[in-house]
Structures are given as structure tokens and as C-alpha cells.
Structure 1
Amino acid sequence: MLGEIKIALDDESAKRAASVLGQLADRTENIEGGLRNVGEALLRTQDERFDTESDPQGRTWAPLSLSTVVQRGGSGHILQVTRRLRSSGAYQISGNSLRVGINAPPYDVVHQFGSTHEIRAKNAQALRVPVVGAGGAGFAFLKAVIVTIPARPIVGFGPKDEEAARDAVEEWLEVEGMSDE
């Protein structure tokens, strides 16, 4: 089941999404099959965001922080160390509505919207924090550190999502024998 991350689409995105799904509702009685087709298409575009490292509108995600690069021993792909977030894409159909998202709490919310929080030493007197300075990389020992994770949106309805959804609707209408062609 999908968690409750609610994304309010901007007016233009909401109109585009309503237009695509309205076409489906107007032209077929088997809307559930069409929604399933659209859901699968949107999961694919959502998954592609991990390859392009960009949000639904095509804007590149914030790069990894220098401390993250040092900690990993290299840059690597953003949001893909364990692939848990990437593999958590899901959709849910309820009546005439389709919900598409990711389901990997708490990482889904943190990365969708960004987060700032304090980390304190629990089992030791200090945290070992990677630092990079003029003298090279090393570590600092601190009682607490403020960590800011930038928003790297995955869920949304951008131009590629609209195109994929329109194609999925057309494919479904062909299956149903309701295509314009």
C-alpha cells in the first residue's frame, strides 16, 4: 500500500493530468484497465528519473555533498546505494482514481521534500564526521551535527509523464477497440 505523500500538482500539471485521464473516462467503460496501463507507464517514467537524476519537470537533482562523496569513497549514483527507494515505486487504483508514488518510509518523504535534522552522538562521546579542507580529507569529532538533505523529487507529473500517460491511454483504447485510428 502506498504511504501518504500527497503532492499538490500545480494548476498546469493538474489540468494536463485531468485532460489525459478525462480522455480515458470519456472513451472507455473499462477505466480500471486503462488506469492500470497509465499506472505502469508512470512507474516507468518515475524509474527513469533515477537514471537521469532529475525531477518530474526535468530539473537535475542537487549533487551529492562533498562529505557524502568522501564517505562513499566516490560519487556514484544519487539515491541508489541500496536501490530501496528506486524499487519502491507503486500505484494503486481505487474506483476511477489512480495514485502513483514511492513507498519506502522514511526515505521517500525525506528525499521528495528535503530535510534538515540534527544527529547527536548516542553510543560514543562524539560523531566521526568526514571533512575536506585545504590539507585534504579527514575526520572531525563532534557531539552533534546538523544535516541538510536537499529535495530530490521523484513523484510528480511532468512533460514526460504526460506523454507516457497519453501513449498508455491510446494503447489501452486500441486494445478496447476505441482508438481514433
Structure 2
Amino acid sequence: MSRAAEQRLLQQAGMIVGLWRSAHAGQRGTWSCASLAELLLAYGRLFTPAARPARFTVGPPGTCFATASRLADEHADLLYVEGMVVADGVPFAFDHAWCVSAASDRVIESTLPDGAGLVYLGIALTDGYRREQQALRGVDAVITGGGINLADNVDALRVGLPGHAWRPIGRPLPSTTETPARS
């Protein structure tokens, strides 16, 4: 894991938070989180890139949400994670989904080639919450991109994720990570 990539990811997430807080100061001033990036900084953890074990089948590019969901369904020891990744050769962090072992912060990559993901920031979702939200929305993504719109996450943004929705797996964010002050 690259410390520079980690700092870049956290800085970019913080910038997104600041933009959303500024743009929606009057409308979302009392919300727990004004954006999905802020939800990631509030609940997210850092995950360590790792070589994908041969027993897991990678999906084609652009199918990370569906592929990670399928992997979590097929392997009881895996949890589905959504968040952002910084990938080698890409100047910005982007929405992504992957899996982790329920006992580790090691990434089981769903679509990126081994070694492409440099640092991951995400929320490990419980199977029950993931399936419930996917059924409600009709898409594989739960908290980030992948065809959902912000209205799908209004409750989570207003009051935060319910306790049954996520697991505190992964490395906590550095104590120096700050969410921009609310207006």
C-alpha cells in the first residue's frame, strides 16, 4: 500500500465533501453526511490490496458491483465492500466495489487486474443490508455509483447508516483525516 496513494484518496474524498457541503449548505446543513464521500469518511475503512486467490473469478471491467455481489453470495467467508479506489495510472479516485474476507482487510478484487488498485476506502456491508437495498433499488450498487441516484441514500445521508448495515472491518482512517466543517 502506498502512503501517497492513501493521502491522495483521502484528500480527494475530502474535496468532494467540501464541494457538496458548500453547494448544499442550506439544504443539507443538518444532515449527518451531505454526500456519499462524506458517508465514506464517516463509516469507511481502508483496505489493503492483495493478490487475488485463484479460486475467485474476476468480472469484466464495469461490472464491479455485480461481480463483487456475486462473489459475496457464492462465498460465505466474503463480505461485499463499496467505496472508492485509487488505481495505478488513474489520476482520480473512483467508485468501486470489491470483497474482503470477514476476518481481514485484504481486498479480493472483483474486476481490476491484480496490482492495479493501490488503496481502497470503503464500507463493508452486511449481506442482509446489501440484498435488501439491491432489491429496493433494482441495481447492484448500494451506496456509491453504479446507476443509483442520491435519493436512494437520503436516509443514510440524513441520519447515518443503521448499525445492522455495516461491519467495522478494515483499518480505521488516520486520526488526521478531517471532514470539512459544516456550514
**TM exceeds 0.5?**
no
Which category of TM-score, normalised to the shorter sequence, fits these structures? under 0.3
Structure showing greater radius of gyration is 1
Q: TM-score, normalised by structure 2?
A: 0.27
